[in-house]
Amino acid sequence: MRSEFLPFAPPLIGDEEIAEVAQTLRGGWITTGDRAHEFEERFRDYVGAEAALAVNSATAAMHVALAALGIGEGDAVVSTTMTFASTIHVIEHQRARPVLVDVEPDTLNLDPDQVEDAVKRTPEVKAIMPVHLYGHPADMDPIYDIAHRHGLAVIEDAAHSLPARYHDRVIGTPPPGFDQPNLVAFSFYATKNLTTGEGGMLTGAPAIVEQARIWSLHGMSRDAYDRYTSDGSWKYDVVLPGFKYNMADLQAALGLKQLARLDAMQRRRREIVAHYDDAFGPVEALETPYERPHVRSAWHIYLLRLRRERLGLDRDAFMTELRKRKIGASVHFIPIHQHSYYRHRYGLRPQSFPVAQREYERMLSLPLSPAHSDEDVDDVIQAVKEIVRDHPARMRTVA
């Protein structure tokens, strides 16, 4: 057994990141400035987007996306119950109504057939908000088709999915010829594949991104960087009731160095995933994650599902056993329909989301970070196998 607790997803921070942040501190400008703008440009080029806006979280990116599209009271947005609450919170913040659908059983991403049904029965729908869960892209082609036929915007929650690919397109780039607004929100939270501690990015068409930029900083027509430089002016106008969502140069400095070695960090993630797959694939009590043939997952989360008929304990007990062995696992996510606010406000019931409910009850997320050593990975494998070995399913006796 380990002598120290293994964190779930520690960031991999090196000397280059530390030096860049220190240089930013010494430069005298630490809020939104040159580094934030450079980070936007490099990120835009990396994912092949038209424009990018650096903000302080993926939540902020989704919120300003909705605001820039004018989605608000009286409107509805279709999304998934299997996501973190922030995806749905931003719809509520805009006083629009979330319309939640169930998920596909393999990837747990939203089911396009149910999206189609939700759009047809809800004339107020103005946008679809798919979530690329665990780093595996949602099935976007049918979603784009639905959006095209019904004249809907698509706002992608890509918090988990940098740098995933779907049909050879990096997440963040719509297919050629798609004629509706398509905005994509990325997260750089501490556990993400690229981290700025806290942070996010919104990509999309330049005109909409620039409108989102105004929303992201108090609705001012001129940002703080311009006002306090020698070329700036103290005069500004507030044209929208905006938010305070801008990214600071301190965060962007970290992001620039993280972006430069993202591909190397992804290679390490895939190595760890391969070790897990080799170890757990043959274990009948366990179900390993899926990766569809036409995608390249970002492998943000390694989702393990328990086959209860072959295991003598449930998910919660399994998590307790992992913690006893000093392994930091988690659950991603408690579905939206389980949370009291949404359950009471919209009358949501588990039976309305049978796939999400069933899979939630048997899933857990294992430690996965490029900062984890081979020894760390071996400890996780040993702990999981021990728990399975020590808790076989009890055979039913026949009278």
- How large is the average pLDDT for residues 50-57? 98
Amino acid symbol at 200: G
**Structure token pair of residue 253:** 């400095």
CB distance 184 to 170 below 8 Å: no
The parent domain of residue 341 ranges over 263-390
CATH number at residue 50: 3.40.640.10
Same domain for 240 and 274, yes or no, is: no
| DSSP element (H, E) containing 51 | strand 51-55
Same domain for 33 and 152, yes or no, is: yes
Of 192, 235, 244, 385, which is the active-site residue? 192
Domain's final residue, options 260, 284, 315: 260
Q: Is 192 annotated as catalytic?
A: yes
Position 396 in a domain: no
Domain's final residue, options 213, 229, 260: 260
pLDDT tens for 121-148 read 999 999 999 999 999 999 999 999 999 9
Same domain for 110 and 46, yes or no, is: yes
Same domain for 376 and 280, yes or no, is: yes
Closest C-alpha to 125, from 149, 83, 153: 153
CATH number at residue 288: 3.90.1150.10
β-bridge partners, 77: 98, 127
Same domain for 203 and 85, yes or no, is: yes
- How large is the average pLDDT for residues 239-265? 98
Overall domain count for the chain: 2
Position 329 in a domain: yes
Predicted local distance difference test score (pLDDT) of residue 226? 65
Helix axes 249-260, 34-47, angle to 10 degrees: 30
pLDDT tens for 193-228 read 999 999 999 999 999 999 999 999 999 986 655 666
Predicted local distance difference test score (pLDDT) of residue 397? 44
Tell me: pLDDT of 116 over 90: yes
Same domain for 157 and 289, yes or no, is: no
Domain's final residue, options 260, 295, 330: 260
β-bridge partners, 78: 99, 128
DSSP conformational letter for 136: P
Q: Is the peptide bond before 353 cis (omega within 30 degrees of 0)?
A: no
pLDDT tens for 167-192 read 989 997 888 889 999 999 999 999 99
Predicted local distance difference test score (pLDDT) of residue 172? 76
Q: How many CA atoms lie within 13 A of 123 on its CB side?
A: 0
CA distance 193 to 135: 9
